[in-house]
Amino acid sequence: MKNYKNGHSTVCLLVATLGLYFFLPPTLIALFCQWFNLNPFFLIRSWHLNPFAAARGIPIYQTVVPILVVWLSINALVAAIFFAILGLYRWLGRTKHR
């Protein structure tokens, strides 16, 4: 097996992939809502999330940021749950072998 070195291109690819993962879903939702002239906050009907009074015709720059915040919050929650389960697994594994 060849011994590959991690170079500058690998780091660039990792950063581009993470950027695509974090920014693509909110951008696609905002573009979809702009295409059909919809307000995503009117569709969601969530708790105090509608910062706009109009039900239609919201500019795309006003929809991407709140959707991005919701998307990043969901990702942070999933990561926190994952790390809590991982910590619990390690703690139970450590106490089991004593």
pLDDT, position 45: 52
pLDDT, position 5: 72
Please report which confidence band the pLDDT of residue 92 belongs to, taking 50, 70 and 90 as the band edges. Answer: confident
**Predicted TM-score (pTM) of this structure:** 0.57
Q: What angle do CA 23, 59, 52 make, to 5 degrees?
A: 100
Yes or no: say if 26 and 64 are a contact pair by the CB < 8 Å rule.
yes
Above 70 in pLDDT, residue 98? no
pLDDT, position 97: 64
Please report which confidence band the pLDDT of residue 65 belongs to, taking 50, 70 and 90 as the band edges. Answer: confident
